[in-house]
Structure 1
């Protein structure tokens, strides 16, 4: 009897469960501890188990993966050695690449190769898009077509000079990205010598430190004095984004942590929301303490899938923009505020009103200021004090 083919919706759910899952004949989904997923084609040849990668789930859709698996099965039935065929194609691509002994590739070519090799590890699509855009806007017009071994300090300086003063944050990222591409080119033996874009290199003498004139601005936030009124109006809104925003405010969580919250992460008896490392910006597990109203908020959600607050598409969370629109709607006619700024509202209240110890307030928003060794051996997380702080915050928001 043929095994069942998993639906796309079922695969979406399994993508959150670590392990290897059979999707279709020979087709498997591999979910790693860090949350990344990839497709694999498993088969037997000459009495041995073999496996071929079919790409990351982010890049290869469910339908594309099944189509690739069907094509490979057809080749197996025709007696084709699919592993040897893939190796031959890979060798041909390698031969087509420029080598140090023939033609040195351009900076643009190296940038494209670097991005292709590393973008799977980058957290978000906006980050991947920004990488390409900054290099295309500022580096490419100056030295993109140059052989990468001929890119010098003067080239990097020319690309950075104007943006350095007008957009210092962008300039800092641009310098770092150019440096990484040039380091990659050196590791491939396309260039040698020092990196002209290095932070501590010759640029130190050509451009002033960004810190000398860059103004660091916090995310606009709702003053803590106005939060009860804002939260009261928010609770009257019934759409999903408003409920997620309530969770953000009540817990001090980041938007992505709240939007991606799973039912399995909540322990209502212990009053703890445990967010795994792969969903945290810090890449460390975080235990968020829950107030009474927070528990009521979560428990009021219908349990239709693994996500507590599902978006419009099955298995997909709500977008950041949905929460941002909610803030704009409720702040119409008032000073601008952001979703991320809600963390500042809480942190300011915790310091100025609750007079919470700095360590407790920082732990509440997943800023662990303890040393690495202390984090390993201290498993208490100051739970009682943090629980009391979050309950006081919730009571304040509710006007109690």
Structure 2
């Protein structure tokens, strides 16, 4: 009848060569194998000399949502033992317990997490990176497994192929898998320790990674920016890129700019904190050249976005700048123009470092210094942005004269 071992193993349970009969895991839990080879979990107990048994689900092919793993079967068995311990009837509570059990795959839970977090992630690239790393590119097998069955071996299968080849990607993937599994536990979809945790766990199973060379955003030398600026067309993407260069802003800030953020009379653009990387509101003083761009667009505006795409009520694509620069055969990134501005401010002007960093919305100093420095130095930054705009829009033949702050 019962197999004489105290504990089953996951490998044993998944074997196709088990003999028909009931195989004990100890403590009342059995794996029942029929003559046709199907496998079900049973829990057996005795009350007042009478034996009872209850089915806990199929132990069929791994990877299917309806399959009950060894781990989940043990969890269910423990619940029954607790019910018996308080003199309850597991059969009476079975329907309630069954209604609470929700089977979801890792892919389902990963998608749910991204959907729930999407409102707080302002950068479209950030969302795309989560979707890509947790998608079939790296988690094809993992996505198909019931989330309650994910073990260390499954996480390692996803990480090992890229751990040395793509160390930065692998590190982010591990953290995101850990986040998904924590999310699943919070939702009551799994229990126990997180098999993707690093400290004291995967750190002991994975080799030391090779140091990955940091790739900086390709930037244009600031001396070449005026000529490039003059070469831009009047297309919407080109006007947006002009505005980005003049304001030294990030792509996502410019592409998502809405008319409600602009004070054209005061020549100030206020980017709300939910669209800023540092989650702090950022005021951008507009130079006459930057103001001229948005003023002209305001006269023909039909939607909420300053730089609309082909559909007037939607912004330009987040690939608009990359496609424009590719067509112009310029090997730089839009983000790189922030570096061009910073190099110009440091090499060709006398503007203070903290003013230049404030223009880039970078945090300057420690928390104590930041607490005492509450002003955003708007007017000081305005003088610097006007000087930058004058430099960028100067004639190509003009002589470059270092500026003082």
User: TM-score when scaled to structure 2?
Assistant: 0.65
Aligned residues: 298
| Equivalence for 2:159 | 160
Residues 140, 308 of structure 1: CA spacing in aligned structure 2 closer, same or farther, 3 A cutoff? closer
Distance 2:163 2:208 in 1: 10
Distance 1:166 1:317 in 2: 36
Residues 348, 106 of structure 1: CA spacing in aligned structure 2 closer, same or farther, 3 A cutoff? same
| Equivalence for 1:291 | 287
| Equivalence for 2:136 | 137
1:172 corresponds to 2:171: yes
Distance 1:106 1:98 in 2: 16
Shift of residue 363 of structure 1? Answer: 0.9
1:312 corresponds to 2:310: yes
| Equivalence for 1:246 | 242
Distance 1:286 1:339 in 2: 19
Query: In 2, are the aligned partners of 1:277 and 1:284 still within 8 Å (CA)?
Result: yes
Shift of residue 160 of structure 1? Answer: 0.4
Q: State which of 213, 216, 231 in structure 2 corresponds to 1:215.
A: 213
Unaligned runs of 5+ in 2: 1-95, 399-405
Q: Secondary structure at the match of 2:199?
A: coil
Residues 95, 296 of structure 1: CA spacing in aligned structure 2 closer, same or farther, 3 A cutoff? farther
1:323 corresponds to 2:318: no
Higher RCO, 1 vs 2 (CA within 8 Å, ≥6 residues apart): 1
Residues 265, 141 of structure 1: CA spacing in aligned structure 2 closer, same or farther, 3 A cutoff? closer
Distance 1:316 1:215 in 2: 37
1:223-372 correspondence to structure 2 within 5 Å: 223-234=221-232, 237-303=233-299, 304-305=301-302, 306-330=304-328, 332=329, 336-372=331-367
Distance 2:392 2:124 in 1: 34
For the pair shown, which has the larger CA radius of gyration, 1 or 2? 2
Q: Secondary structure at the match of 2:134?
A: helix
Unaligned runs of 5+ in 1: 1-93
CA RMSD, aligned part only? 2.9
Shift of residue 114 of structure 1? Answer: 3.3
Residues 207, 138 of structure 1: CA spacing in aligned structure 2 closer, same or farther, 3 A cutoff? farther
Residues 377, 268 of structure 1: CA spacing in aligned structure 2 closer, same or farther, 3 A cutoff? farther
Residues 344, 114 of structure 1: CA spacing in aligned structure 2 closer, same or farther, 3 A cutoff? same
